[in-house]
Amino acid sequence: MDVGGTSERMVEYLRDHHDKVVERWSELVTARVRGRISLDEVRREVDDLYSLIVRVLSGADDHAAGELRAALDELSRSRARDSFTPSETALGVFSLKEAVYELVADTAELAPEFLAFSRMVDDLGLRTFEAYSAAREQIISDQASAMLELSTPVVRLWEGIIAVPLVGTLDSARTQLVMEKLLDTLVATGADHAVIDITGVPTVDTEVAQHLLKTVSAARLLGAECTISGIRPQVAQTIVSLGIEFGDIATKATLADALALALSQAGMKVVPQLWSKCRSSRSGRRCSSPFRSTCKTIPSCASRRTWPTSWPPPGPAG
Amino acid sequence: MRLQEDLADELAATGASGVIIDITAVEIVDSFIGRMLTMIGSISRLFDAETVIVGMRPAVAITLTELGLSLSGVRTALNAEKGLEILNGKS
pLDDT grade for A302, boundaries at 50, 70 and 90:
low
- Beta strands A155-158 and A161-167, pairing class: antiparallel
- Residue A111 has φ and ψ, to the nearest 5°, of -55, -50
> Lowest-pLDDT range, A242-246, A260-264, A308-312, B31-35?
A308-312
Please state, rounded to an integer, the average pLDDT across all residues of chain A.
Answer: 80
Cβ–Cβ below 8 Å for A214 and B70:
no
Residue A112 has pLDDT above 80, yes or no: no
Chain A: give the shortest CA distance to residue B62, in Å.
Answer: 6
More confident residue, A297 or A276: A297
CB A58 within 8 A of CB A35: no
> Lowest-pLDDT range, A189-198, A246-255, A276-285, B32-41?
A276-285
Cβ–Cβ below 8 Å for A221 and B57:
no
Cβ–Cβ below 8 Å for B61 and A190:
no
Nearest CB among A183, A214, A223 relative to B58 is that of: A183
Chain B: give the shortest CA distance to residue A190, in Å.
Answer: 7
Residue B76 has pLDDT above 50, yes or no: yes
What is the predicted pLDDT for the residue at A162?
93
Q: Taking residues B48-61, report their average pLDDT.
A: 90
Give dist(CA B28, CA A216) in Å, integer: 20
Residue A227 has pLDDT above 90, yes or no: yes
What is the predicted pLDDT for the residue at A303?
59
Nearest CB among B57, B62, B70 relative to A179 is that of: B62
Residue A178 has pLDDT above 50, yes or no: yes
Residue A197 has pLDDT above 90, yes or no: yes
Nearest CB among B76, B79, B82 relative to A221 is that of: B76
What is the predicted pLDDT for the residue at B79?
86
What is the predicted pLDDT for the residue at A281?
58
Residue A196 has pLDDT above 90, yes or no: yes
Give dist(CA A76, CA A88) in Å, integer: 10
Chain B: give the shortest CA distance to residue A147, in Å.
Answer: 23
Residue A71 has pLDDT above 90, yes or no: no
Cβ–Cβ below 8 Å for B65 and A214:
yes
What is the predicted pLDDT for the residue at A2?
44
Q: Can you give the pTM of this predicted structure? A: 0.61
Return the exposure string of B45-56: e unless at least 16 CB atoms fall within 10 Å of the residue's CB, then b: eebebbbbbbbb
What is the predicted pLDDT for the residue at A115?
81
What is the predicted pLDDT for the residue at A292?
66
What domains sit in chain B, N to C, each tagged with a CATH number? 2-87 (3.30.750.24)
> Lowest-pLDDT range, A8-17, A213-222, A293-302, B73-82?
A293-302
Residues of A in contact with B56 (CB under 8 A): 221-223
Percent of chain A's residues with pLDDT above 70: 82
Chain B: give the shortest CA distance to residue A140, in Å.
Answer: 29
What is the predicted pLDDT for the residue at A89?
82
State whether the Cα torsion A6-A12-A17-A19 is positive or negative.
Answer: positive
> Lowest-pLDDT range, A96-110, A196-210, B6-20?
A96-110
Which pLDDT tens digit goes with each residue over A39-56? Answer: 888 888 888 888 888 888
Nearest CB among A179, A184, A221 relative to B56 is that of: A221
CB A64 within 8 A of CB A52: yes
Inter-residue long-range contacts of A13-16, CB under 8 Å, 24+ positions, other chains counted? A13/A104, A13/A107, A13/A110, A14/A53, A14/A54, A14/A57, A14/A100, A14/A117, A15/A54, A15/A58
Residue B2 CB partners (closer than 8 Å, separation 6+):
none
CB A186 within 8 A of CB A258: no
Residues of A in contact with B78 (CB under 8 A): 186-187, 190, 192, 222-224
Residue A191 CB partners (closer than 8 Å, separation 6+):
A156, A160, A161, A162, A185, A224
Give dist(CA A28, CA A123) in Å, integer: 19
Cβ–Cβ below 8 Å for B78 and A219:
no
Residues of A in contact with B76 (CB under 8 A): 220-223
Residue B55 has pLDDT above 50, yes or no: yes
pLDDT grade for A316, boundaries at 50, 70 and 90:
low
Give dist(CA A89, CA A126) in Å, integer: 10
Which pLDDT tens digit goes with each residue over A9-48? Answer: 778 878 888 888 888 888 888 887 777 778 888 888 888 8
